[in-house]
Amino acid sequence: MTITCKGAVLRRIGCPQPYAESRPLSIETITLAPPTASDVVVKVAGAGLCHSDLSVINGDRGRDVPMVMGHEGAGEIVELGSAVTDLRVGDHVAFQFSVSCGRCRACRGGRPNICEAAPAARSRGELLSGGSRITDAGGATLRHQAGVSCFAEYAVVHRGSVVVIDPELPLTEAAVFGCAVMTGVGAVVNTANLRAGESVAVYGLGGVGLSGIMGARVAGAGTIVAVDIEEAKLDKARTLGATHCFNARDPDLDAKVREATAGGVDCALDFAGAIPALQSAYAVTVRGGRVVTAGLAPFGAQFAFEQGDLVSNEKQICGCYMGSCVPVRDLPRFVKLYRSGALPVDALIDSIIGFDELNAGFDRLAQGSALRQILAPHGGPRPT
């Protein structure tokens, strides 16, 4: 069926802050086309405000507009395409932002997070099955963000963009699993393959980085170092398992991390998306250690290192996309860890907001005063 609903449309990139005044996101009436054979329709219950969204809004990661924003969220299946036989109306699902084709070299090799077919569809603002399903009030086509566009009351997505989750998990909490938790925890347990007793440093303590702190604790890290420019985020990291916390603005940061970790860490994880953070992560990694970077710096940013140091110290530098996760395998695992109390990801959620607060919410995210705000498109209780 065709659905008319509200959605947040980005029409201008690089608007000045405060966004509450410049209003880069306009709340509009949008129309969703009926699902094609391989699509599903989701009633969105919660959608997280993420730095990946902010990097599109401020122009750091350029995308063509107009686009309906939102890539991290959860909801309930309300309609299925004719070829979708493994889901049911009423299933609770979390979105995942890197759909996979199942047939390319990466997918065949068990790495669907870097599917070769997905980037082309994403760059066009289309679904993997081809085309957009969204138009504005005037009938003009709107692009999808990451094949999802969940800053809306409803979303039409490819079947591969959703993962069925435990129906007992509140959907506003489930919203953070498809990006923050999957990337942060996945970077630790999948990409870094952190082993019990190893030391780790985590740079950048947004929702993804704090998920990395929790993931390091679950993996049994012996020492967990947290690094950020915001003292409030360092305080949060302490409550989630960090054993040492340092402000990234400290000119003696590298020396202090080495001193606290008997010469350096076995693994350093960069979630900051800033080259100075990555440089420090490399500097504090011990001989034979590894550096994992999952933060996205602005287009064109370059990271340099001395090649001889890399060789003689046998360090490893590895990129990480979506936590190197197989979503249908890992997302339910992480939900189980949350339900057991091992991954208290609800600690990431600052507030539940409505469409009227969305632009101001990105001000708070840009200022570092919020971790994860959850948009509730249909309304709902708002914690004080």
pLDDT digits (tens, 9 = 90+) for 265-313: 999 999 999 999 999 999 999 999 999 999 988 888 999 999 999 999 9
Could you read off the pLDDT of 88-143 as tens digits, one per residue? 999 999 999 999 999 999 999 999 999 999 999 999 999 999 999 999 999 999 99
Could you read off the pLDDT of 242-265 as tens digits, one per residue? 999 999 999 999 999 999 999 999
132 is a domain residue = yes
Assess whether 151 and 250 both reside in one domain: no
302 is a domain residue = yes
Assess whether 30 and 13 both reside in one domain: yes
pLDDT of residue 125: 96
384 is a domain residue = no
Dist. CA 221–CA 319, nearest whole Å: 21
When pLDDT is cut at 50, 70 and 90, the band that residue 237 belongs to is: very high
Assess whether 29 and 164 both reside in one domain: yes
Assess whether 363 and 248 both reside in one domain: no
Assess whether 245 and 354 both reside in one domain: no
pLDDT of residue 37: 97
| Structural domain count of the chain | 2
The stretch 351-358 carries a mean pLDDT of 97
pLDDT of residue 318: 96
When pLDDT is cut at 50, 70 and 90, the band that residue 60 belongs to is: confident
Assess whether 249 and 275 both reside in one domain: yes
pLDDT of 157 over the 80 cut = yes
pLDDT of 75 over the 70 cut = yes
When pLDDT is cut at 50, 70 and 90, the band that residue 380 belongs to is: low
Q: What is the 3-state secondary structure (H, E, C) of the chain?
A: CCEEEEEEEECCCCCCCCHHHHCCEEEEEEEECCCCCCEEEEEEEEEECCHHHHHHHCCCCCCCCCEECCCCEEEEEEEECCCCCCCCCCCEEEECCCCCCCCCHHHHCCCHHHCCCHHHHHHHCCCCCCCCCEECCCCCEEEECCCCCCCECEEEEEHHHEEECCCCCCHHHHCCHHHHHHHHHHHHHHHCCCCCCCEEEEECCCHHHHHHHHHHHHHCCCEEEEEECCHHHHHHHHHHCCCEEEECCCCCHHHHHHHHCCCCEEEEEECCCCHHHHHHHHHCEEEEEEEEECCCCCCCCCCCCCHHHHHHCCCEEEECCHHHCCHHHHHHHHHHHHHHCCCCHHHHEEEEECHHHHHHHHHHHHHCCCCEEEECCCCCCCCC
Tell me the Ramachandran region of residue 224: left when phi exceeds 0, alpha when psi lies from -120 to 50, beta otherwise: beta
Mean residue pLDDT of the chain comes to 95
335 is a domain residue = no
381 is a domain residue = no
When pLDDT is cut at 50, 70 and 90, the band that residue 379 belongs to is: confident
199 is a domain residue = yes
The stretch 307-328 carries a mean pLDDT of 96
pLDDT of 384 over the 60 cut = no
Assess whether 249 and 230 both reside in one domain: yes
pLDDT of 347 over the 50 cut = yes
- Which of 383 and 160 is assigned the larger pLDDT? 160
Q: Residue 367's domain spans which residues? A: 3-175+344-375
Indicate the pTM of the whole model.
0.95
pLDDT of residue 195: 96
Q: What is the CATH number of the domain that holds 45?
A: 3.90.180.10
Assess whether 138 and 280 both reside in one domain: no
Assess whether 18 and 160 both reside in one domain: yes
